[in-house]
């Protein structure tokens, strides 16, 4: 019995606006507007709820399905009730300046400590300067200086008295002290001295030598006295400096008494301030002089007291919950932080205040969301992330240090403990490749969050879609949609899903459609978006990108591309293919031809022979050979030589959706029966002759319809599709209208016999109990042709055998 074509109602599943319980999207209560992904949400809750090593999350699914929005919403909801992580600060390491210390502080304390230390520096300047300008300090230092001067004067006075007893005077000259003999209270000159007797001169020289020995002894003691006096003054300075800052430091230590690490740091600060108190004095007290000119130091560099600052690497609001951070550029330095530099006197220098936090610091104690592809594309970023997760600490290193490109001395900040849950987003193939190629991946990302591509269509999902549209409208400030417009969006979603029983979860496409529909409604001056605005948005988007499909139809109409849509041909059929360019898919017919002759059972796929056919297409052709060999002339060897080709195909051919069309062409050539060219065919076939579902069925039907329409008429034309693809039909309105008027037909085919009957108008024929097909049927003609090939080949072999035998006989 011939297969009936589908009714127009089977070609499209409408969404009845009357079933939507609202007038416009303004009536809907919108919370988050997210599309439900129950299985994914359950995985997310498990992943963020389990606190063990390696239980990070990888959300896999197509881009645009709302993975980020859904994950962020779920994570933020969880994070809001979690504890706020601590603040982290870097401070100067007084034992090793190149290894800054990390301080862990309660939330909010980092900024408070920074303010306190900034205030401390100002207070130290005032207190120390005031102290060293005080009368007490002057009095005490003056007393020490006068004591030194008195001791020196007393020593020299004793020498003067001793010299006076020996008629010698102690004179002070620009070059130092000297001794000279006296006569009558006056020093003797050289001539007068030489006029004395030899005994007198000898006595004077002996007295002067003894006095010089005493004077040298006193002069040798003076530097020691000076050193001791300086030490006393320095001790006084330290005592006074310690006294000046004691109250300031005690106040801070008392404030942070419950934070031992901070108290230890403050004690080190106190010791360092006392050691370097001069740095807090006015410049003229600490700057060196050259020829009486003050020389400034560190003009462009950081001031001395910079070492007492606090670098708050990460601060938190104590009421904010755990952080949720999205790393939009997960480069190495963006993840682990960086150490900045400043130019000074032609060189680069840095200090602990120039350490900057990375995304891992910001998310520490919370959640870090990162895109897998972006991460993998950044040099060393993936390896760095794995290493830090395994070590459970954040170590700030530059790529130059890691790769040993530079050997200059740099900072080595103390590592910070890492406690973060990584949520990675990526396509499915990235997840599976990482599982396959990186053994560490499965140890670090143990929770897979697999997002659905489609949603089951029904009243519940219709309401979900309506709420999503309402949320997009309110978020972007668009015109509200009436229920007919919402119904049209739902219908288009089923078309995008290629299934009238499913809706796409690619919400980016739906969001784009909502915004574009709003534009056309606004252009038309309507206050509410209607179904006609949605349809115009759909049509306009296709029109913007369909240049290639239009060009192909034009060339087919002009006869450049040879496609026949009328009449009938032996061994020739219209196959249907789908092309996808830039996200736009369209169907177009291709002529498939088959030629047969006597041979050795070869079925030649010309596409494969010239390496234009992909492996799946080649598999489909080999299945045809199995079908022919398993159905016909079972008692005879397959003596067929056949060739199959896509005519005017200049690119690669892949997929098995044309295998049924190729089989029809082959059967037509074997049976010598013409195939109606007003019909086109799609569907794959197995070795049992069953026609199997294919993809892009809507685009394929519409592609052939458009070619026929471009030639002026679609009357009497149609398409054969697999019966299992009927549930995927969501055809355009013009195609449905042509089917309703009986001008165009869509035939659901379950097996090859049903298809060949429609294409040839002849019964396929079923093998009877005697093993023979009915006379005149397509299968009987095919089998008769194959038997004829086999018998002819046997006769040729027999004749060749006799010829060879006759050539070898004696005369």
Cα-flanking dihedrals φ and ψ of residue 573, to 5°? -145, 155
Strand order in the sheet with 584-598: 602-605, 640-646, 584-598, 572-581, 679-681, 717-722, 744-749
Q: How many angstroms separate the CA atoms of 792 and 641, rounded? A: 13
Contact by Cβ (8 Å): 469, 35: no
C-alpha dist (Å) from residue 6 to 538, 742, 746, 750: 26, 10, 6, 13
Q: How many angstroms separate the CA atoms of 667 and 657, rounded? A: 17
Q: Just list the catalytic residues.
A: 657, 700
SS3 490: helix
> What does R_g of the chain's alpha carbons equal in angstroms?
49
Kindly tell me the sign of the dihedral angle through the C-alpha atoms of 55, 56, 62, 67: positive
The 3 state secondary structure assigned to 723-748 is HHHHHHCCCCHHHHHHHHCCCEEEEE
Both tokens of 281, joined, read 């004095």
Cα-flanking dihedrals φ and ψ of residue 7, to 5°? -75, 155
Both tokens of 535, joined, read 């349809």
Both tokens of 125, joined, read 């300047």
Both tokens of 723, joined, read 């019966």
Q: How deeply is 684 buried, as exposed, middle or buried, from its count of CB atoms within 10 A (0-12, 13-18, 19+)?
A: buried
Strand partners, 689: none
SS3 310: coil
Contact by Cβ (8 Å): 449, 60: yes
Helix axes 507-523, 483-496, angle to 10 degrees: 140
Q: Are strands 393-394 and 416-417 parallel, antiparallel or unpaired?
A: antiparallel
Closest CA to 380 of 434, 344, 336, 435: 336
Closest CA to 591 of 666, 680, 684: 680
Helix (H) or strand (E) holding 583: none
Residues in the chain: 811
Q: How many angstroms separate the CA atoms of 170 and 165, rounded? A: 12
Cβ-based neighbours of 367, under 8 Å, separated by 6 or more: 48, 75, 79, 322, 323, 324, 325, 420, 421, 422, 423
Kindly tell me the sign of the dihedral angle through the C-alpha atoms of 209, 215, 221, 226: negative
Q: How many angstroms separate the CA atoms of 309 and 581, rounded? A: 59
Q: How many angstroms separate the CA atoms of 546 and 584, rounded? A: 8
Long-range contacts, stretch 441-447, CB < 8 angstroms, 24+ apart = 443/54, 444/54, 444/56, 444/386, 444/389, 444/390, 445/54, 445/56, 445/57, 445/58, 446/54, 446/55, 446/56, 447/43, 447/46, 447/47, 447/50, 447/55, 447/56, 447/57, 447/58
**What letter does residue 690 receive in the DSSP assignment?**
B
Distance between first and last Cα of the chain? 65
Kindly tell me the sign of the dihedral angle through the C-alpha atoms of 261, 266, 267, 271: positive
For every residue of 190-207, DSSP letters joined together read HHHHHHS-HHHHHHHHHH
Strand partners, 593: 572, 645
Q: How many angstroms separate the CA atoms of 501 and 15, rounded? A: 11
C-alpha dist (Å) from residue 555 to 544, 561, 575, 707, 719: 20, 6, 17, 10, 21
Both tokens of 399, joined, read 């790529």
């Amino acid at each position: 019995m011939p297969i009936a074509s589908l009714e127009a109602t089977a070609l499209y599943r409408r969404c009845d606006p009357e079933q939507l319980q609202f007038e416009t999207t303004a009536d809907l209560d919108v919370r988050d507007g997210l599309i439900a992904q129950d299985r994914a949400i359950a995985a997310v809750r498990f992943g963020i709820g389990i606190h063990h090593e390696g239980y990070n999350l990888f959300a896999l699914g197509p881009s645009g399905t709302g993975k980020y929005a859904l994950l962020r919403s779920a994570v933020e909801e969880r994070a809001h009730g979690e504890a706020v992580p601590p603040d982290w600060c870097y401070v100067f390491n007084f034992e090793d300046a190149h290894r800054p210390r990390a301080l862990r502080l309660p939330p909010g304390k980092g900024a408070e400590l920074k303010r306190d230390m900034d205030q401390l520096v100002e207070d130290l300047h005032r207190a120390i300067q005031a102290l060293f300008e005080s009368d007490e300090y002057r009095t005490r230092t003056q007393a020490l200086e006068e004591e030194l001067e008195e001791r020196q004067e007393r020593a020299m006075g004793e020498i003067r008295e001793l010299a006076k007893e020996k008629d010698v005077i102690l004179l002070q000259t620009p070059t130092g002290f000297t001794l000279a003999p006296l006569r009558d209270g006056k020093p003797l000159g050289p001539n007068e001295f030489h006029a004395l007797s030899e005994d007198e001169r000898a006595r004077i020289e002996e007295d002067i030598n003894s006095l010089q020995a005493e004077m040298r002894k006193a002069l040798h003691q003076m530097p020691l006295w000076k050193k001791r006096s300086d030490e006393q003054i320095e001790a006084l300075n330290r005592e006074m400096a310690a006294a000046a800052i004691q109250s300031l430091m005690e106040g801070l230590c008392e404030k942070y008494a419950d934070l031992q690490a901070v108290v230890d740091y403050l004690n080190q600060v106190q010791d360092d301030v006392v050691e370097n108190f001069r740095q807090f004095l006015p410049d003229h007290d600490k700057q060196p002089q050259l020829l009486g000119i003050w020389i400034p130091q560190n003009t462009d560099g950081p001031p001395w007291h910079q070492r007492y600052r606090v670098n708050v690497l990460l601060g938190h609001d104590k009421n904010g919950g755990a952080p949720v951070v999205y790393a939009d550029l997960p480069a190495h330095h963006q993840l682990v932080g960086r150490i900045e530099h400043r130019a000074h006197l032609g060189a680069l220098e840095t200090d602990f205040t120039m350490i900057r936090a990375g995304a891992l610091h910001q998310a520490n104690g919370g959640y870090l969301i990162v895109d897998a592809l972006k991460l993998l594309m950044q040099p060393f970023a993936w390896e760095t992330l794995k290493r830090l997760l395994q070590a459970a600490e954040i170590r700030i290193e530059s790529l130059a240090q890691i790769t040993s490109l530079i050997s200059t001395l740099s900072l080595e900040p103390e590592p910070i403990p890492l406690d973060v849950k990584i949520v990675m987003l990526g396509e499915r193939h990235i997840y599976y490749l990482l599982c396959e190629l990186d053994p560490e991946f499965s140890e670090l990302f143990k929770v897979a969050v697999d997002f659905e591509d489609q949603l089951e269509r029904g009243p519940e999902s219709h309401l979900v879609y309506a709420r999503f549209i309402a949320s997009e409208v309110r978020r972007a400030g668009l015109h509200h949609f009436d229920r007919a417009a919402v119904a049209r969006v739902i219908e288009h979603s089923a078309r995008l899903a290629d299934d009238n029983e499913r809706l796409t979860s690619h919400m980016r496409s739906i969001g784009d459609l909502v915004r574009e529909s709003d534009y056309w409604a606004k252009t038309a001056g309507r206050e509410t978006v209607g179904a006609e605005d949605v349809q115009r948005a759909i049509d306009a988007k296709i029109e913007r990108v369909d240049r290639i499909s239009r060009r192909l139809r034009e060339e087919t109409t002009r006869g450049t591309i040879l496609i026949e849509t009328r009449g009938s041909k032996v061994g020739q059929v219209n196959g249907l293919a789908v092309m996808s360019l830039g996200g736009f898919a369209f169907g177009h017919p291709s002529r498939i031809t088959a030629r047969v002759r006597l041979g050795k059972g070869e079925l030649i796929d010309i596409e494969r022979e010239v390496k234009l056919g992909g492996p799946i297409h080649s598999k489909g052709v080999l299945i045809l050979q199995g079908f022919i060999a398993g159905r016909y002339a079972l008692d005879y060897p397959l003596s067929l030589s056949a060739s199959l080709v896509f005519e005017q195909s200049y690119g690669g051919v892949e997929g098995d959706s044309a295998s049924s069309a190729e089989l029809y062409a082959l059967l037509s050539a074997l049976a010598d029966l013409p195939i109606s060219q007003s019909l086109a065919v799609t569907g794959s076939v197995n070795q049992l002759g069953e026609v199997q579902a294919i993809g892009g069925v809507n685009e394929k039907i519409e592609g052939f319809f458009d070619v026929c329409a471009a030639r002026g008429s679609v009357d009497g034309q149609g398409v054969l599709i697999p019966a299992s693809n009927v549930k995927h039909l969501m055809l355009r309105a013009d195609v449905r209208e042509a089917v309703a008027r009986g001008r165009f037909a869509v035939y659901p085919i379950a097996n090859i016999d049903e298809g060949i009957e429609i294409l040839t108008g002849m019964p396929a024929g079923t093998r009877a109990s005697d093993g023979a097909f009915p006379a005149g049927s397509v299968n009987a003609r095919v089998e008769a042709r194959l038997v004829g090939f086999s018998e002819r080949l046997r006769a040729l072999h027999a004749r060749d055998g006799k010829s060879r035998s006759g050539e070898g006989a004696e005369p």
